[in-house]
Structure 1
């Protein structure tokens, strides 16, 4: 039985990964600034900006999952992400632990066509430049052989239990639950890839168990071809018993909202992901692991059932 340590244990992906690890009979350590005790697991409080605390948190680990999320602010990212990545890399090297970094797709920038693991980094945002930098930091360690690591990338996600950290959760399912029309950012008629959280969690565990997966970048499973926002909303409306009409939030309105909402203000540099087609390919993972991503029909149905069951 190996020790799997989750850095950022209170987040969405950690919450989906924990039951997978428990079902597989693995030993689990939950690490965050304020970890929530879970029966059958160990909890350690640690600040990833403090190297000694990170080192203590990963000591004795076989696999470390870096699932950390920090304040959604470009200046904070520029200041803190390089420190966090260096701390985690050095701690994993000292502990002789393998590292799986749960990454996003910001470093690719605006891409025409499918985004794959070989798509070059051409970030068009401050946050994208930060993510390119920390990814390259980890890639250099993997190439040198100093650390056995994996970069596992995902885009925006949806799934049962996913609420405020998901555009689909906030704009579609939560609005329908309240009897309101769904909303969508900028353009509801271009394809937009999503990862289904149970698939992403299962894929992370599969990667951890595959010796030849280390030293590589992997895109976590998502269905291809991607649906447009309008198609996604139609599926959700069917399962939620709601109207399938949609209110598209235009750029000018999002800018006005950003005057009062810091998160929406920070989202403005990422608007290319919603204004233009955003196709994320996981064919490498699917072929290597003979994995079929959960269909949008099944994923939306399970997500809708969870939302409808909430008080």
Structure 2
């Protein structure tokens, strides 16, 4: 990229790709970093580099010349407590050495179990291991901003769905079966309201935050389409696919059995509360500042169906 300023994205997964698409729409030069230095299906003018994000010196070298750094990467789900804090500290330290800004893609685990809608003013009251890790990470990066060491902003989304999203409650357990007219598997109490975040809207929101000076130093809940129940979401997806809805749910017992063989399933047990009570995200702070940029359910689900269909 010579000496031209660029924006850097750590991670080439679903969120990183969504950020990339949005940045290209802004006319930005984009560099993406992962552990291999390779990624398929990216535009030819997007540079992909290898970087060990746990090594500060490598992060610094990768970020040198960057304008904004987007953190869209995380350790394997079952390794969060051991690796997440050191990953974020390494990235933040490397970014600080370059003078770039940092945008962190986050979730909602730090709030723990809540009553009523989930908004940014809630305390970090998580009692789960992964919730505590998310609390630690958020406090750390916002603390760096408050000390004047690193300009940081956090965007928080709920459970993902969309192109490239596989390991989600609205991912590979739902859409492949759905497209074949078979029964899909949802988890928890599927007739309670649950907010889901379209990955395209998440990426768009992170870039909007990264481009807005006044947004830094805060956490923002990214916009989502109106909250429905998981059953309603699945039924709409079946209708869009021209299939008859066939939906089954998995509770704690089934998840626990799966956890005997699958680490990710075992780790998800402590987060089951989010699917056993209403889980409604309040994004009104974002709406008031930037407007409602969320995609309609029909649009986001159709894009998701089209992507999964392309894999067949």
TM-score, with length taken from structure 1: 0.94
* Aligned equivalent of 2:28: 26
* Aligned equivalent of 1:218: 220
1:49 aligned onto 2:49: no
Shift of 1:42: 2.3
* Aligned equivalent of 2:299: 298
* Aligned equivalent of 2:96: 93
Deviates more, 1:301-310 or 1:91-100: 301-310
For residues 136-155 of structure 1, the aligned pairs below 5 Å read 136-155=139-158
* Aligned equivalent of 2:106: 103
Distance in 2, matches of 1:49 and 1:292, equals: 34
RMSD: 1.5
1:178 aligned onto 2:180: yes
* Aligned equivalent of 1:278: 279
CA contact (8 A) 1:108 1:119 kept: yes
Q: Deviations over 1:105-134 (max 9, x none)?
A: 111111111111111111131011011011
User: SS of the counterpart of 1:68?
Assistant: coil
Aligned length: 306
User: SS of the counterpart of 2:97?
Assistant: helix
Distance in 1, matches of 2:200 and 2:156, equals: 15
For residues 123-138 of structure 1, the aligned pairs below 5 Å read 123-138=126-141
Distance in 1, matches of 2:94 and 2:136, equals: 19
Shift of 1:2: 4.1
User: SS of the counterpart of 1:117?
Assistant: coil
Distance in 2, matches of 1:55 and 1:308, equals: 40
Distance in 1, matches of 2:158 and 2:96, equals: 28
Distance in 1, matches of 2:198 and 2:46, equals: 25
Q: Deviations over 1:237-281 (max 9, x none)?
A: 101122223111121111111101111011111101111111112
* Aligned equivalent of 1:64: 69
User: Cα–Cα, structure 1 residues 44 and 310, in superposed 2: closer, same or farther, change >3 Å?
Assistant: closer
CA contact (8 A) 2:13 2:164 kept: no
Task: Provide structure 1 residue ranges, at least 5 long, that are not aligned to the other structure.
Answer: none
User: SS of the counterpart of 2:172?
Assistant: helix
Shift of 1:103: 0.7
Shift of 1:138: 0.8
Distance in 1, matches of 2:152 and 2:165, equals: 30
Distance in 2, matches of 1:174 and 1:82, equals: 34
Aligned match of 1:80 in 80, 83, 88? Answer: 83
Shift of 1:178: 3.0
For residues 182-261 of structure 1, the aligned pairs below 5 Å read 182-224=184-226, 226-261=227-262
CA contact (8 A) 1:181 1:243 kept: no
Q: Deviations over 1:145-178 (max 9, x none)?
A: 211110111111112x234132212232121123
Distance in 2, matches of 1:2 and 1:104, equals: 29
